[in-house]
Every structure is written in C-alpha cells, then in structure tokens.
Amino acid sequence: MNERTLFALTQYVAGDIDFCQFPDAEVVTQDGTPLNECAEEPALFQEWNENK
C-alpha cells in the first residue's frame, strides 16, 4: 500500500474515512460489511483501480 492506492481505496468505498490519513482504519462497504469478508474482494478493487 502506498498513498496512491490508499486514495483510490477511499474513492472506491465512497466512505467518510480518508485512508491516506488513517491507513489502519477498518475498510467497510456502504452497508457496514468489512471489505475483507466480501468474497469478490480484492479482485473487484483491483479491476476498478486498473480501469479508472
């Protein structure tokens, strides 16, 4: 992880947390599910980040 990918993660989850400033914060989806519990992640984030 670097500042660029943390910024992209902030945009991807469209949350209130700026992961560049709080890299240890828990990443959750809009419904509150931890992102690491989603079966399709991190593949969807990778695909989204490569295509933006």
Tens of pLDDT along 8-29? Answer: 999 999 878 899 999 899 998 8
pTM value > 0.95: no
Q: Kindly report whether the peptide bond that precedes residue 23 is cis, defined as omega within 30 degrees of 0.
A: no
Supply the pLDDT for residue 1: 76
- 30 band by pLDDT with thresholds 50, 70 and 90: confident
Q: How far, in Å, CA of 52 to CA of 50, rounded?
A: 6
8-state DSSP, 6 = H
Q: How far out from the chain centre does Cα 3 lie?
A: 12
- pLDDT band at 31, cuts 50/70/90? confident
